Amino acid sequence: MKKAISILFLILLLSPTQTVWGKAKKDMIRLSYFRPIFGHVHRNPSKYSSSLTTISCGHPVKVYKLTPTKGRAVTLFNKVWHYVKVGPYEGYIDKKYLASSKPNCFQDRYPKFFDSLELDLTELYYWGRLYDQYVFGKSRVR
């Protein structure tokens, strides 16, 4: 049983998707800015994946294009996720949360009010997770 588990682990570790993106060439294509009040850089291109770091409105984000050793360049994953770098963290952010110019942020417009909230790290994390779960759009129900 233990041998089967270790073989399965080796297969998953050496799977082609891991090795292709691990050796991919990264080219920065633009500098964008984060739009919502709080959000996360995700480990995988999914809103349910674990968070690498929490960022706030107006934070600069480097957007990259990945080119694998064999194949063509990819800028969007799952049709909506950009591969980004924020500080030392490399992960994914939904493209709808990025702006080409610096947005007009709530924190910048009302700094005294925002500072009086005295949010700690846990609260910032959960505010970011809340914005990840929002679904923006128009209802088609009559």
pLDDT tens-digit readout, 36-75: 999 999 999 998 999 999 999 999 999 999 888 887 888 8
What is the model's pLDDT at position 7?
A: 47
Looking at the 3D structure of the chain, how many domains does it have? 1
In a domain, 12, yes or no: no
Distance from C-alpha of 85 to C-alpha of 16, rounded to nearest angstrom? 23
**pTM (two decimals):** 0.77
* Nearest to 31, CA basis, from 104, 95, 76, 98: 98
- Let me know if residue 139 belongs to a domain: no
Q: Answer whether residue 8 is part of any domain.
A: no
Domain annotation covers residue 7: no
The Cα 44–Cα 46 span in angstroms is 6
Q: Specify if 5 maps to a domain.
A: no
38-42/60-67 β-pairing: unpaired
Q: Is 120 within a domain?
A: yes
Indicate whether 142 belongs to any domain: no
pLDDT reading at 32 higher than 70: yes
Asked whether the predicted pLDDT for residue 21 surpasses 60, the reply is no
pLDDT band for 13, please (50, 70, 90 cuts).
very low
pLDDT given at position 138: 86
pLDDT band at 22 (very low <50, low <70, confident <90, very high): low
Domain extent at residue 86: 23-133
Bridge-based pairing of strands 25-34 and 51-56 is unpaired
User: Does 109 fall in a domain?
Assistant: yes
The distance from CA 57 to its chain's CA centroid, rounded to whole angstroms, is 14
Give, in order, the Cα–Cα distances in Å from 31 to each of 9, 12, 45, 51, 100.
38, 34, 19, 21, 7
78-122: pLDDT as tens digits:
889 999 999 999 999 999 999 999 999 999 999 999 999 899 999
